[in-house]
A and B are shown apart, each in its own frame.
Chain A
Amino acid sequence: MKDQKQHLMGVFDGEDPLVEAFDKLRDEKVEMADFFTPFPIHHILEHHGRKSRLITVSWFYGLFAALGVLAFLYYTAVISWPLNFGGKPSNAFPSFIVITIVLTIFSVTILSLFTFSARAKLWPNVDKRIYHEGATDDKFVILFELDQIDEQKVKSLLKDLGAVEIIEK
């Protein structure tokens, strides 16, 4: 599903001008829709309310995976078909721990990857609009939605802030 809205883009050629522009635009209470940068800019991630619950979710994946694996081991080794290995107890808890740790890591990896893929909308052949091709190379882009901003004011602000390109798309 491609984004059909009308957009304005301010393109900068460095991190510092971008951060400067971000602060200024924030002070002016201009609504900024998104940012496209070649590497993460933590100042913007922090101050533009970008919050991800991925870490919390992964923690719960880990908890459930650990309990699930332990339960499975207990069921198979003690309840379903107890085997006698040299007279050792069927519920060989210390042995289970090793397997539990590794399988928990295994499950957390897979589940977190899929969560990331789904939430960040990253999968092969995803239909996404690429706003500015330089954003993965050396350009830093601020994206505005035209219906949320005063176009003339933002354009002149961007010019003052040293945007190298102002594009309407």
Chain B
Amino acid sequence: MYKTEIRGPLILGNKSLGQISEEITSPIYQRPKMWWLVGMGISSILMLLGFWAIYVTISTGIGTWGVNNTVGWGWAIINFVWWIGIGHAGTAFSIFLLILRQEWRSSINRAAEAMTVVAVGCAAIFPALHMGRIWDAFFILPYPNTRGPLWVNYNSPLFWDFIAISAYLLISASFWFLGMIPDFATIRDTSKSKIKRMVYGFFAMGWRGSSWEWKRYEGLAFVLGGIAAVLVVSVHSIVSTDFAVSVEPGWHTTLFPPYFVVGAIFSGFAMVMTLMVIIRKLYKLNDFITDRHLDNVAKILMFVSLIMGASYLTEIFIAWYSANEYELFTFFRNRLTGEYTIQFWIMFICNALVPQLMWFKKIRKNITAIFIISILINIGMWFERFNIVVTSLAKDYLPSAWVDYTPTFVEISVFLGTIGIFATGVLLFFRYIPMIAIHEVKMVNKLKVNKKR
């Protein structure tokens, strides 16, 4: 324990334990505010638009999209990778910061995990639709069938992807839910409303906080945390093999797995930052999500941005060093310059250059500035996936097959729909679930109280 406070307390305001429960659960008892209803309205409209587009896609077919024989992976795969990347932050926050004993994670991990679950759900929509004939989707499962039995191709990264995403969705949802059990019990025991006691009591599953429960709880958290750490790295590596295992110029590189994992953590942390600033502003949880928390996330973003920049430069360097004419063409004529140059430079500036502003303490302390940077990162990460998917496919080996690609309204609507689903999910989370892990914050708070003595 430190005798001098160098880093300042994690939870401000010298709160008692009762106060912590009360302040964190208070949004659940309030009537929904105007901004919440408006937000819910807008996101529901987006969601409906998305459902319409999904209906059109399923009933008519992929022909309603702008994808063609050459650019077979359009917005669907861009958005899939983008969402799955955002969905990496929750588990990364919970697991890596848990392993590294970073106690400041406890104010943020709940929201990050909630975001993960919704984002991975949004991501899963795209490959499901893109496969076409979604009613035959069960063919992807290796089950004893009457066609042989004909089993699936285990060498295909697309099959790995299917398993990886299912596993990731399951484990992040269960990790999230596990963390909430004691907090649901808190609501069950402190709420005055009979319905809330019943509903939250149902999900609390008889949690009493007994020593046996805590012992097993911590054991399970350890197991899930340990294996999820492996999963975080492997899921996005597997997503990257969707690309890297093919022989497209610009995709066929060994850099892809680490590059994708880092990119995922980058976009996920940026989304966490965006959400944290919003939560702080709207629910006045500044005592729990302090300036220091945001400062820490900003520092991580700044550092990861360096890795992103290094990856971009490595790709370009290797293309030049390989002297392979197709690689040279893809990177120098089709990304750095050429038709897609704007998309390339948006990616480069938003991901590699702008976050470097956060070296300055003044910028890190300016909430508006980091909020804008975090949104720019998310835009930049979308364009990174655009760069990877579209530039390589549109102009590969055979010039006679070169084709332009423009998304149709249906394709764009599916994307807007997933943004609606995400926003709806997050708003429901704000309203009905404690946004901060109450019992973890109580533990962290205790550490500081002890230190003061």
User: Which A residues are within 8 Å of any B CB, using their own CB?
Assistant: 15-16, 34-41, 44-45, 48, 50-52, 54-55, 58, 62, 72-73, 76-77, 80-81, 83, 85, 88, 92, 95-96, 98-99, 101-103, 105-106, 108-110, 112-113, 116-117, 119-128, 130-131, 133-138
In addition to A34-B212, A99-B159, A131-B208, 14 A-B residue pairs with Cβ atoms within 8 Å of each other are: A34-B211, A36-B211, A38-B442, A39-B182, A72-B142, A73-B154, A83-B150, A92-B154, A105-B167, A109-B224, A112-B220, A112-B224, A124-B203, A137-B189
Question: Can you list 16 A-B contacts (CB < 8 A)?
Answer: A37-B211, A37-B214, A72-B142, A99-B159, A99-B163, A102-B238, A105-B228, A106-B166, A116-B217, A120-B213, A122-B206, A136-B182, A136-B188, A136-B189, A138-B16, A138-B21
Q: Check if A54 sits within 8 Å of B216, measured CB to CB.
A: yes
User: Which B residues are within 8 Å of any A CB, using their own CB?
Assistant: 16-18, 21, 142, 148-151, 153-155, 159-160, 163-164, 166-167, 170-171, 174, 178, 181-182, 185-186, 188-190, 202-203, 205-220, 222-224, 227-228, 230-231, 234-235, 238, 439-440, 442-443, 446, 450
With a cutoff of 8 Å between Cβ atoms, the chain A residues found around residue B190 in the complex are: 133, 136-137
With a cutoff of 8 Å between Cβ atoms, the chain B residues found around residue A106 in the complex are: 163, 166-167, 170-171
Alpha-carbon separation in the docked complex, A52 to B216 (Å): 6
With a cutoff of 8 Å between Cβ atoms, the chain A residues found around residue B446 in the complex are: 15, 39
Q: Nearest-CB distance from A17 to chain B (Å)?
A: 13
Main DSSP-derived SS at the B contact region: helix
Alpha-carbon separation in the docked complex, A93 to B166 (Å): 22
Q: Check if A120 sits within 8 Å of B216, measured CB to CB.
A: yes
Q: Nearest-CB distance from A95 to chain B (Å)?
A: 5
Q: Check if B202 sits within 8 Å of A102, measured CB to CB.
A: no
Q: Nearest-CB distance from B124 to chain A (Å)?
A: 15
Residue ID in chain B nearest A103 by CB atoms: B163
Given the contacts A39-B440, A55-B222, A136-B188, A102 and B214 also touching, CB distance less than 8 Å? no
Alpha-carbon separation in the docked complex, A124 to B200 (Å): 10
Residue ID in chain A nearest B155 by CB atoms: A95
